Structure 1
């Protein structure tokens, strides 16, 4: 084997040394191997390139050779996933004619002068990640180049003047880069140029004179730059031009009259510029035009009749100008027209009778001044083969009369928009024939009659807008057959009857507006199953009964259900029959004197019993009753259970893992989610009373050590009488076991018997947040940074749970553990799902041991418990962390509610009184105040007013880094 490494070393030193090597060593092999060494080939596409081969011409992928010289002529490696930079190895390929490396991930600047390869004809480096400026002499030796493409990279700087040296160039594509500055004067010094594409850059200035020198030019695209001035007259002296795209620039003035000589031009695209004057009469001389786009300019006056001479015209876009007058009748000759857009002008007159006789696919006439009936336009006989209409937009005109039934004959329609006119009469029944219709907008007219039941035939309908008419009758039951419907707008009509239950069948439904009608009856309970619902407005009707419970309706805005006198539920602040009074009412929108009363009593030592306190005491009484009831139930069940069932022994070991009488080790099921279960060598009994860490609403927690020396925490559940079946229990526990996050206590496994269930968690040694806040010594307390990190970490943990559709139900400071690194870990999440039903009393007694964390909806049967309950508890937790005070503090003759106290002090500007006294002088006010305000927002009484946890995380990160978005922080208000 040749000493290849040595050869490569000399090649890298100087390309001239290669010439002195032995003639038997193929230059092409060396050059390609060096090229390969400079790039990365993650997919192994170049594995066939073997340095031991005598020639690359036999089986090297992407390489083609000249059969006569046996030298490499073509390299085509498009889409190979290559990365890295182009190396000097390519310069050894002196017979290379075609180099195509398109659609890869090559980076770096274009410093390698590939023009030194004398035979190179075609260079394609498009769709890579190359950047930087192109050296001024890069094209100085490109006399033989025929095609260059650097499209869709990140090249910047000016276009080199040396480009004029490419005298034989036929195709130049620099589109999709960041080239700037003016066009070099020598750009027109390439007489062989046929295609020039400089679109999607940031080039500027006027186009230099001399374009007429490009007598062979077929295509020019300068789209989406910053060119200005007038289009040079010389463009009309390029007789072979077929496509001109100067759109999205700042060209001004009129169109040069020399353009009329471009008899071969198919596409003239000049949209989004500043062209003025009238559309010239001579435009009709460009008889090969298939696309004419003059949209978004400042053209005025009437359209020329010569447009009727453009018999090949397919696309005509004159939208967003200042055109006036009527459409020229001569356009009836444009038999090949497919798309016609004259929207957003000031055109007048009636809709021409020829419009629907041309077989158009797109008709966009919106925002003009067309008037009169459209019956004549639809009266013209149209063959079935010509009824290809897909888009019809006549909105925002002055059209009147009835909507012709002939509309229903255009079966290909996907968009029908006749909004903001003065149409009368009823909706045609044959509208149901439009099986492909996606958007139907007849809003803001004077339509009457009822909504036809045939509307149910529109199975493809995404959006139905009939608002602001005079429609009567019921919402048809057939609306439930519009299975694709996402948006339904029927507001401001005279619709009566009830909301049909069939509406609940529309699983894609996101927005519903039925406001300002005369609807009656109860809302169907099935509506709560609409999982995608984002807005549901039924305000200003005569609906009655209870709002649906669950899903979107737990967070519905009060304004969306207002002005229905007989409607009840939390959103309308009106109790339904059998609804229990709310527990803690902590209203962040309150403006009465209650918060200030509490804040004064706290700040100045006065003891006054507030309204919130009375409600809290009443709620506490209800909870106590629940606690007693559940406790009695548990005791009865336990007394009837065999004592042996509460012992635990795992097979494979001799140690009794409980002080209770043991039972057969195979009687229970042990599952560990990762690793092998090994309790056999543990030095301590699993449920040893001496190893008890604490007790909570669901049971006691013990610490034990596995055989590998790893400590775990074992939670012994004490709600066996209420636990789900084994199948349901295991399904819920396995879901919890998948909740992996740095701010969550990991669930490692579980143990099951019918009367004993254990959950196995990772052991966190740093204690819980409650002890750090309320049981630490004066000197040993959490700093502000530590508290902020706990708040942010807890928010991230909860956000991750909610992303997995897991609700915590039991958020409080004793369930936030702190590891040795000070990182918070949320514990005891999702355990309420182990119960057969989420009974409010069970949750109150077994979980919400700290009354102050409870969201108001826990005691309201008409409101479903959602993630917003966790947000409420998190808000209380934030205030507890910042102030160092418990959520509710009971004194001899007063109850101080934390969030009321904080709100009052903030309103009085006494921020220092809010923050934990142990932090005085050692916390940033610019962080503390927004954090407290965020906590108050999270404790809004109305669930829909609370942010979700993902939003909370974003807000906290902005608070920690205020320079990134100072404005957002200024918008926080405790009264949101």
Structure 2
């Protein structure tokens, strides 16, 4: 018993300071609570520096508001402070807290069910954080006086708690953009004080339960972007105060309930991208306060009711992608406030209605219908239309000259019609137009030089017409042009050299014309060129020199018989001098010998002519002799150089490591792209010291060192020095790579050059490689979300490289690094461009060390390396990341390829079994299965079947967020 009492006494003594603090009347509980709350946080920007535990009260602290009478904390507002960590129990000390606002931070962990126990709490905003797990049932079960709760843009999973109905004081609830699943709890409809409900962009399923009319105070409801099915509840019209109803992007079906005619207060009605059927009800015109009406992407059929013209306050109208037919409603002229109208992808007939130009519309789309007849444009007055899309119809006749009256046009699309005649010169008066698409018509005549008046033009699409004449040189004035597509016409003449002055050009397609002459050499200087297609013309000569033209696809040059150069596997004819003629009648030297005199007399009656072939033979013999001598001398010099360097073990001297970027014979050239002092604090030994080696790859070894400012960098010592280009070419290529900047690329910081040693300087990434994280047991396990983020990051970096015409070539998991924040960083990109004799074709196996990632076309020595080889390697990386298995595994008597294993599992319906066993039960199959399939598509044996990396990025974003797959424009 004595021992027991001693233990109790010890515990009391231990907690005595805490008890003293809590009993001290001078201590402010709010200070204590906030300091405890802060202790659980990371504050990288020092936003909470003013929070000092020595203060008597926290009322002067940043983000804290108090009641002026009691000095007790009533509001904590820390929006966008970049805070991370847990939302700890310290907040429970704030007994008078009314508003808790912590959005746009990086808080993680689960939601505390005890927060609602704060009796004064009215508003909780934890949106745009990284909170996860299920919303605890107790959070709403213990709700006392909460009026507004926002948990939007987090990672909450599971079902909506059924205890939600206990929180009867709620006026606003926002659980949007999470990963909530299951059905809508019927207890929702018991919250009759609710004014705003947002459950959009989750994975909710099932039918919408009836009883919604009990929410008689409801003003806005959004269920957008879920998987809800069935019909809209018949009692939806009972919410008489409803102003905004958004159920778009679900799987709802059936007719619209008749009760909806009672929603007379409704201003926003979005029903798009569902499976609603039947006719558009005539009562829609009775909702006189409508501002936005979106019925797009459904199965509505029949004509648009004339009653739509009664909606005088309507600004945005979208009937696109339905099965509507008949004429466009004439009475729509009653919609005086209309700004955006989209009737595209239906079966409307008739002519272009006059109200298009009479209502003051800003955006009009009627593409993909059956409209016809001549085009009509008003001849006078101002028209505010910015977007006019009439593509994919049956309009005929000429383009009216009056088109110039729509001076505000930014996007004009008249493609895929039957328009004929010449392009009017007045089109050049559209000086605000950015996109002009007249493709796939029957236009003829020449491209008017006046088109250069459209100085803001970014995209010009004229392909698939019968245009003739030359490409006007005046197009140079369109200095913002990004895409120039003139293919499939009858254009003649040369490509204007001043096209190279449009430095913003990325896509140029002049294929299938009758262009002739040589390509302007200046085109090689275009910095952003990604596509240049001149196939099926009559062009001649060599290609321009430049980064893009070094790797241009052969398909972009085909059917130009007179083009030459390595890109088309056709040598250019040498420019040889005229044959030398020795005239025996010419005067002899000033002091001829008797031998020369006799030789001259023997030639008196004959001319000796050295033919071209003789000259070539003589020159070749001389070059061979000179080459032998040169190689011999170089070998002697290299042996001497190697002997002198062996004692130094390839170390660089401290003297020239801190030199300015100049070159001399004794040192080398060291350049940092930032322009900073390029010295290394650790001296020469850290650059090539074996102890500092990080790893080795196909292009060389990598070492870690530190700059004078304390910043670590990675140094790659190229082991292909004998293949590297000259200094000028090397520096030009490296500087180009140094300009590449992307969140998912390892940045090149600088370089070092001597004829025998080249170093590349990169930013240092702390987290190691993807290979180590996947295949080495000591590394921390990558979660499903981390793996998906890595795959998406690699895809984005490759899409960026391919957009700039840079092929990675050496893609593998050891070249994917992971930084401290878990972000994927792709390294070793573009190094093949440093090797002149191999940069057009497949590198040797000594350089290409990515076994298992190589596309099958590598086996053919005549096939050129393209971006599709990277796509193949990316597909293997996807499968490796998801399965945790190496691309090639060696068994006792077999070699197993990962692609074959996954493909077999797919055919057998066992794709989910391929996911890394360490992730079992913690990955979403709805993401894993399509991601596996994407990896297999990328590893297709046929290069043309592999997608572009920009397409891969879009697919990945759809896989990750299937609720965001709609391509329709959100109105309002």
> Normalised by the shorter chain, which TM-score bucket?
0.5 to 0.7
The within-5 A match list for 1:566-605 is 566-578=562-574
Quick check: 1:79 aligned with 2:80?
yes
Instruction: Output the CA distance in 1 between the equivalents of 2:666 and 2:101.
Output: 55
Secondary structure of the 2:419 match is: strand
Quick check: 1:971 aligned with 2:941?
yes
CA contact (8 A) 1:875 1:934 kept: no
Q: Could you report, residue by residue, the CA deviation over 1:870-912 in whole angstroms, capped at 9, with x for unpaired residues?
A: 6459956426999xxxxxxxxxxxxxxxxxxxxxxxxxxxxxx
Instruction: Output the CA distance in 2 between the equivalents of 1:971 and 1:415.
Output: 40
1:435 aligned residue? 431
Instruction: Output the CA distance in 2 between the equivalents of 1:833 and 1:402.
Output: 57
Q: CA deviation at 1:413?
A: 1.1
1:417 aligned residue? 413
Q: CA deviation at 1:832?
A: 2.1
Secondary structure of the 1:369 match is: coil
The within-5 A match list for 1:605-620 is none
1:734 aligned residue? 669
CA contact (8 A) 2:427 2:451 kept: yes
Q: CA deviation at 1:518?
A: 1.9
Change over 3 Å in CA distance of 1:14–1:219 after alignment to 2 = farther
Instruction: Output the CA distance in 1 between the equivalents of 2:313 and 2:526.
Output: 50
1:461 aligned residue? 457
Q: Could you report, residue by residue, the CA deviation over 1:830-853 in whole angstroms, capped at 9, with x for unpaired residues?
A: 572169999xxxxxxx999xxxxx
Q: Could you report, residue by residue, the CA deviation over 1:778-805 in whole angstroms, capped at 9, with x for unpaired residues?
A: xxxxxxxx9xx865464999xxxxxxxx
Q: CA deviation at 1:302?
A: 0.5
Quick check: 1:356 aligned with 2:357?
yes
Q: Could you report, residue by residue, the CA deviation over 1:936-970 in whole angstroms, capped at 9, with x for unpaired residues?
A: 45x54757699689979988996953577554667
1:347 aligned residue? 348
1:542 aligned residue? 538
2:119 aligned residue? 118
Q: CA deviation at 1:430?
A: 1.2
Instruction: Output the CA distance in 2 between the equivalents of 1:35 and 1:21.
Output: 21
Instruction: Output the CA distance in 2 between the equivalents of 1:736 and 1:48.
Output: 43
2:737 aligned residue? none
CA contact (8 A) 2:221 2:246 kept: yes
Q: Which moved more, 1:191-200 or 1:695-704?
A: 695-704
Q: CA deviation at 1:226?
A: 0.9
Q: Could you report, residue by residue, the CA deviation over 1:315-343 in whole angstroms, capped at 9, with x for unpaired residues?
A: 00011111110111100111111010011
1:144 aligned residue? 145
Q: CA deviation at 1:41?
A: 2.3
Match of residue 519, structure 2, among 501, 520, 523: 523
Q: Which moved more, 1:332-341 or 1:22-31?
A: 22-31
1:228 aligned residue? 229
The within-5 A match list for 1:372-387 is 372-375=373-376, 378-379=377-378, 383-384=381-382, 387=383
Instruction: Output the CA distance in 1 between the equivalents of 2:208 and 2:261.
Output: 20
The within-5 A match list for 1:711-722 is 712=651
Q: Which moved more, 1:520-529 or 1:961-970?
A: 961-970
Instruction: Output the CA distance in 1 between the equivalents of 2:730 and 2:95.
Output: 79
Quick check: 1:23 aligned with 2:25?
yes
Instruction: Output the CA distance in 2 between the equivalents of 1:69 and 1:12.
Output: 33
Q: How many aligned positions are there? A: 728
CA contact (8 A) 1:278 1:301 kept: yes
Q: Relative CO higher for 1 or 2, CA cutoff 8 Å, sep ≥ 6?
A: 1
1:447 aligned residue? 443
Q: CA deviation at 1:563?
A: 2.5
Change over 3 Å in CA distance of 1:306–1:554 after alignment to 2 = same
Change over 3 Å in CA distance of 1:575–1:415 after alignment to 2 = same
Q: Could you report, residue by residue, the CA deviation over 1:546-602 in whole angstroms, capped at 9, with x for unpaired residues?
A: 33333322323333233333333333433322179xxxxxxxxxxxxxxxxxxxxxx
CA contact (8 A) 2:92 2:115 kept: yes
Q: Could you report, residue by residue, the CA deviation over 1:458-515 in whole angstroms, capped at 9, with x for unpaired residues?
A: 2222211111111111111111221111221111212122211121112122222222
CA contact (8 A) 1:11 1:18 kept: no
1:289 aligned residue? 290
The within-5 A match list for 1:92-107 is 92-107=93-108
Instruction: Output the CA distance in 1 between the equivalents of 2:840 and 2:560.
Output: 31
Q: Could you report, residue by residue, the CA deviation over 1:57-105 in whole angstroms, capped at 9, with x for unpaired residues?
A: 3x12222222333322111121222211122221122221111111111
CA contact (8 A) 2:662 2:670 kept: no
Change over 3 Å in CA distance of 1:490–1:729 after alignment to 2 = farther
2:58 aligned residue? 56
CA contact (8 A) 1:216 1:238 kept: yes
2:845 aligned residue? 878
1:188 aligned residue? 189
Change over 3 Å in CA distance of 1:499–1:210 after alignment to 2 = same
Structure 1 residue runs without a partner (length 5+):
1-8, 581-617, 636-692, 718-724, 740-745, 750-758, 767-785, 798-815, 818-823, 839-845, 849-864, 883-926
Change over 3 Å in CA distance of 1:762–1:108 after alignment to 2 = closer
Q: CA deviation at 1:697?
A: 9.4
Instruction: Output the CA distance in 1 between the equivalents of 2:180 and 2:457.
Output: 45
Match of residue 37, structure 2, among 2, 16, 35: 35
Q: CA deviation at 1:516?
A: 1.9
Instruction: Output the CA distance in 2 between the equivalents of 1:726 and 1:214.
Output: 73
The within-5 A match list for 1:837-848 is none
2:507 aligned residue? 511
Instruction: Output the CA distance in 1 between the equivalents of 2:549 and 2:698.
Output: 29
Change over 3 Å in CA distance of 1:298–1:760 after alignment to 2 = same
Quick check: 1:210 aligned with 2:211?
yes
Secondary structure of the 2:460 match is: strand
Quick check: 1:832 aligned with 2:758?
no
The within-5 A match list for 1:648-727 is 696=638, 699-700=641-642, 702-703=644-645, 712=651
Instruction: Output the CA distance in 1 between the equivalents of 2:193 and 2:461.
Output: 56
CA contact (8 A) 1:157 1:181 kept: yes
Change over 3 Å in CA distance of 1:152–1:834 after alignment to 2 = closer
Change over 3 Å in CA distance of 1:365–1:25 after alignment to 2 = same
Instruction: Output the CA distance in 1 between the equivalents of 2:729 and 2:515.
Output: 39
Instruction: Output the CA distance in 2 between the equivalents of 1:115 and 1:703.
Output: 73
2:220 aligned residue? 219
Secondary structure of the 1:448 match is: strand
Q: Which moved more, 1:827-836 or 1:179-188?
A: 827-836
Q: Could you report, residue by residue, the CA deviation over 1:334-373 in whole angstroms, capped at 9, with x for unpaired residues?
A: 1111010011111111111221111111010000000111
CA contact (8 A) 1:269 1:293 kept: yes
Larger Rg: 1
Change over 3 Å in CA distance of 1:196–1:481 after alignment to 2 = same
2:602 aligned residue? none
Q: Could you report, residue by residue, the CA deviation over 1:609-647 in whole angstroms, capped at 9, with x for unpaired residues?
A: xxxxxxxxx999897445257579x89xxxxxxxxxxxx
CA contact (8 A) 1:88 1:112 kept: no
1:742 aligned residue? none
Q: Which moved more, 1:727-736 or 1:214-223?
A: 727-736
Instruction: Output the CA distance in 2 between the equivalents of 1:349 and 1:932.
Output: 53
Change over 3 Å in CA distance of 1:27–1:576 after alignment to 2 = closer
CA contact (8 A) 2:699 2:847 kept: no
- Aligned Cα RMSD in Å? 4.5
1:961 aligned residue? 887
Secondary structure of the 1:196 match is: strand
Q: Could you report, residue by residue, the CA deviation over 1:217-250 in whole angstroms, capped at 9, with x for unpaired residues?
A: 1111111111111111222111111111111111
